[in-house]
Amino acid sequence: MLNKKSVDDINVKGQRVLVRCDFNVPLKDGKITDENRLVAALPTIKKLIADGGKVILCSHLGKPKGEPKPELSLAPVAKRLSELLGQEVKFAADPEVVGPNAKAAVEAMKDGEVVLLENTRYRAEETKNGEAFSKELASLADVFVNDAFGTAHRAHCSNVGVTQYVKTSVVGYLMQKEINFLGNAVNNPERPFVAILGGAKVADKLNVIANLLEKCDTLIIGGGMAYTFLKAKGYEVGTSLVDDEKIDYCKEMMEKAEKLGKKLLLPVDTTIAKEFPNPIDAEIEVSVVPSNEIPADMMGLDIGTKTAELYAEAVKSAKTVVWNGPMGVFENPILAKGTIAVAKSLAETDATTIIGGGDSAAAVNTLGFGDKMTHISTGGGASLEFLEGKELPGVAAANDL
Ligand SMILES: Nc1ncnc2c1ncn2[C@@H]1O[C@H](COP(=O)(O)OP(=O)(O)O)[C@@H](O)[C@H]1O
Ligand SMILES: O=C(OP(=O)(O)O)[C@H](O)COP(=O)(O)O
């Protein structure tokens, strides 16, 4: 259990409560294309409304780099949240985030009302965890609630700095739910425990392996992650995604797996093409080759057919599965087969299945397997850093129980 005070330990009747959410949702032409993070934030917001608090929401959106960027305004989020809550979420349009407009909007709030502040990253101090902006945010509130699990691996004003200047800082239901799920999976997993890593953020994710190997029974590697390992084995990987600086590390990880008696599965065959599809869903010509026969001018873009079967088989006997990162360029139907096979095997198992990472969640949802998973995490980087065993600054900053 998370050893932090939560919204259940407080009643905010008549108080101003600042709630940090992760409303960093994908937008296309001003429309929200995946509202998972909004829906996930509702329980905490509803609880605080039911208490009779003045609920002031804040979040970042994208990376505006410290200046107002209209295309990264949170206005569309306020509109959609109003619909989801069935009650108005007043948008405090304010280029300074906590400027005159926001202050006036908060001043005018009645108990049970909700206001959303503008994108916190409109302010350059936000990502530097600066004192002045932290104090400004704190000045709006009597109580602070952090429910932004997806941002918990960052130490910024709106999730860490602000806690120094308010009396009470607690976590919300989403934060509790995420940490409890992931914590159980990693610290007390039902075995066999299978971890699956893929995707394209190779440098970030390779670092998780040292820690995961200690905890899991089987580690499955796919997606863009696989080729650095294959290169470390001495294979030609052509023009596939590789992190050359991590080749020695991959060698060490293979030795570590052997020493610990853990299974480390790498693709035995690979789906290759001449180049990365452009546009991403373009029809491309592919072939499947053994992983040690990738031609020098070709790139691996999905696991191969045999590998997909092998991985699906490895998942079958699992009791806990953690999956982060697609097995291939799933956005292209021709390169989605490996991801579909793995998603299907997770959907069919009675194991506890936990999906982390924005693209992995999108893949599972668009492939229609979303409701078959035990838990789809709202945090990619956050869930990985947590699985790595790192303390998340956004969680650490809340008051202890
Ligand atoms: N072999 C590959 N080569 C290049 N990109 C890949 C490969 N396999 C998967 N990808 C890409 O990885 C991206 C997702 O990676 P990542 O951002 O690390 O996952 P997540 O968001 O789930 O954490 C997808 O856009 C997918 O197209
Ligand atoms: O989307 C997020 O992270 P994720 O892509 O790792 O899930 C979070 O909102 C954090 O955003 P950031 O990576 O811009 O700090």
Q: Examine the pLDDT at 192 and tell me if it is beyond 80.
A: yes
**Nearest in space to 288 (alpha carbons), one of 357, 337, 326, 341:** 337
Annotated binding residue 121: yes
Confidence check: pLDDT of 218 > 80: yes
Q: pLDDT digits over 19-53, tens only?
A: 999 999 988 788 898 888 999 999 999 999 999 99
Q: What is the pLDDT of residues 83-105, one digit of tens each?
A: 999 999 999 999 999 999 999 99
Average pLDDT over residues 41-70: 97
Q: How far apart are the first and last CA of the chain?
A: 11
Q: Which ligand is nearest to the CA of 360?
A: 1
pLDDT digits (tens, 9 = 90+) for 345-362: 999 999 999 998 778 888
267 φ, ψ to 5°?
-60, 130
Q: How many CA atoms lie within 13 A of 128 on its CB side?
A: 10
**If you count them, how many residues does the chain have?**
401
Catalytic (active site) residue 306: no
Q: In this predicted model, what pLDDT tens digit does every residue of 250-291 receive, in sequence order?
A: 999 999 999 999 999 999 999 999 999 999 999 999 999 999
In the structure, what pLDDT confidence band is assigned to residue 80 with cuts at 50, 70 and 90? very high
Closest CA to 299 of 197, 219, 226: 226
Interval 134-142 mean pLDDT: 98
Give the pLDDT score at 388.
76
| Res 177 pLDDT > 90 | yes
Q: Respond yes or no: is residue 198 known to be catalytic.
A: no
- pLDDT of 176 reads 96
Predicted local distance difference test score (pLDDT) of residue 208:
85
Cα–chain-centroid distance for residue 378? Answer: 5
- State which of 201, 281, 289, 378 you would mutate to test the pocket of ligand 1, scoring each by most atoms of that ligand within 8 A of its C-beta: 201
Sheet containing 269-273: give its strands across: 287-290, 269-273, 299-303
- Ordered DSSP codes for 364-383: HHHTT-GGGSSEE-S-SHHH
Assembly ipTM: 0.91
Give the residue, 400 or 189, on which the prediction is more confident: 400
pLDDT band at 1 (very low <50, low <70, confident <90, very high): confident
Contact 308, 342 (CB under 8 A): yes
Of the pLDDT bands very low, low, confident and very high (cuts 50, 70, 90), residue 123 is very high
| Structure confidence at residue 390 (pLDDT) | 85
- Name residues whose C-beta falls within 8 Å of residue 391's C-beta, 6 or more positions apart in sequence: none
| Lowest-confidence region among 5-14, 88-97, 115-124, 178-187 | 178-187
Indicate which residue of 328, 358, 379, 380 is catalytic: 358
What is the reported pLDDT for 187? 78
| Cβ of residue 24 lying under 6 Å from some atom of ligand 2 | yes
| pLDDT score for 152 | 97
262 is catalytic: no
Rounded distance between C-alpha atoms, residue 306 and residue 298, angstroms: 19
**What's the rounded Cα separation, in Å, for the pair 37 and 395?**
18
- Per annotation, catalytic residue among 47, 54, 123, 201: 201
Give the pLDDT of residue 274: 98
What is the pLDDT at residue 205?
Answer: 82
Mean predicted confidence (pLDDT) in 330-338? 95
Active site residue 123: no
Q: If you average pLDDT over every residue of the chain, what do you get?
A: 95
| Dist. CA 389–CA 162, nearest whole Å | 25
Asked whether 193 and 60 are in contact (CB, 8 A), the reply is: no
Average pLDDT value for residue range 319-346: 94
d(CA 329, ligand 1 centre) in Å: 6
Ligand 1 atom with least separation from CA of 326? 9
Pocket test for ligand 2, best of 24, 60, 157, 385 (most atoms within 8 A of CB): 24
pLDDT of residue 360: 85
